[in-house]
Structure 1
Amino acid sequence: MVAQSRKWLIESFITLLKEKPYESITVKDIAEEAQLSRRTFYRLFKDKTALLSYLGDQLIHDYLNQLQAIPKTNLNFEQVLTIFFNFWWSKRKLVRLLIHQNLFMNLLDQINPAAFRLYDFFDAPWHINGSRQEISCVMSFSVGGFWNVLNTWLSQDDQHAPSPETIAKTLSRALVKLQTGK
């Protein structure tokens, strides 16, 4: 019942985000839309910011699960990029809503801690054999760049947005050029 109530509250929150600004959405609004009590909301979330954070954690968790389900053998960097961009493309309606509400970039703080786990998952051109602090610095740099690409790319409507594969190829070419100078 807890999981179902969370699901209803998140769905209600998303519905309300389509109708009005985040700042004007109240816990009461979310609970009423979900047809649950405010007490149920507060049992599951501290406030609407905690609900948004939970939604972000779920998105990141779903992406990491999808990435980890793929065999590591023969997985090249362009394939990882394609998986990344295909995943976010599949979530584009929600991401666009978060972008429109100026909430998407806030999720960057949530993905940074999870990014360290990605470092050992595959080889990338920018990987270094360094300390945890050095690797954290590299991942913060790269995740920030990818998040900004997502923000810019998914702000476009479907008709104007390049395909996930096109974005992955473009970035892969650029990163190789950065690495090799050619």
Structure 2
Amino acid sequence: MNIEERNPTRKRIIESLFTLLVKKDYNDITVSRIIDKAELGRRTFYRHFKSKDDVISYLTKLLMNDFANTIVHNHAETQEGIITSYFEFWENHIDLLKLLNKAHLLYFIEDNFPQLIFEVALKTGHINNDIKEARALKEYEKHKYEFSIKLGGIWKATIIWSLESPRKSPIEMSRIINDIIK
């Protein structure tokens, strides 16, 4: 797994959970199995996470940080550049995306997708950090349906794309998406 996590204990826990997910159903994986695989104690696990769901939620935040870093690294300023960066990011994490899909865990991303993307926009400077929260909420309310339809469509296209063989390149996907949402 190619996730940037500076805390080695958290990284071991995350990697252990995903190693187990390759062979076991998520519902059959217990905290005990995770800590056995990670060769850690129970207290160590609970010092870092509240539950195995918390591990997945934390991983989602790490993924979105990586997505933000991809946007910054690519100097993506346009919609096309951001969408290309988005598919480059997922191409780099395709095995993880497929595993989350197979394990029926995509809802950890789906349920929070607008908020996660909003946080990415803040981190990349596409939304000014100085905007007051009330103003940001007012803007969100004004555009929430448009925002939800676009993000929902891009997310569904991401899942379809991840299952294709061969997959289209990030540039091809960006062109397809941009042609649709223009």
Task: Report TM bin, short chain.
Answer: 0.7 to 0.9
Contact 2:56-2:108 within 8 A present in 1 as well: no
C-alpha distance in structure 1 between counterparts of 2:154 and 2:180, whole Å: 13
Instruction: Determine if the alignment matches structure 1 residue 144 to structure 2 residue 144.
Output: no
Instruction: Name the structure 2 match of 1:80.
Output: 82
Gaps of 5+ in 2: 1-5, 128-137
**1:69 shift after superposition:** 4.1
Aligned counterpart for 2:172 among listed residues 157, 166, 169: 166
Total equivalences in the alignment: 164
**1:71 shift after superposition:** 3.6
- What are the superposed Cα offsets for residues 87-114 of structure 1, whole Å, 9 maximum, x if unpaired? 1111000100001111123312233213
C-alpha distance in structure 1 between counterparts of 2:111 and 2:169, whole Å: 26
Aligned counterpart for 1:27 among listed residues 21, 31, 34: 31
C-alpha distance in structure 2 between counterparts of 1:87 and 1:80, whole Å: 10
- What are the superposed Cα offsets for residues 5-56 of structure 1, whole Å, 9 maximum, x if unpaired? 0000000011000011001000000000000011111111111001111111
Contact 1:27-1:47 within 8 A present in 2 as well: yes
Q: What is the percentage of aligned positions where both structures have the same residue?
A: 30
C-alpha distance in structure 2 between counterparts of 1:131 and 1:168, whole Å: 25
Contact 2:21-2:103 within 8 A present in 1 as well: yes
C-alpha distance in structure 2 between counterparts of 1:66 and 1:164, whole Å: 13
Q: Larger radius of gyration, structure 1 or 2?
A: 1
Contact 1:115-1:139 within 8 A present in 2 as well: no
Residue identity opposite 1:88 in structure 2: W
The normalised TM-score by structure 2 is 0.81
C-alpha distance in structure 1 between counterparts of 2:33 and 2:145, whole Å: 40
C-alpha distance in structure 1 between counterparts of 2:140 and 2:181, whole Å: 23
C-alpha distance in structure 2 between counterparts of 1:151 and 1:68, whole Å: 24
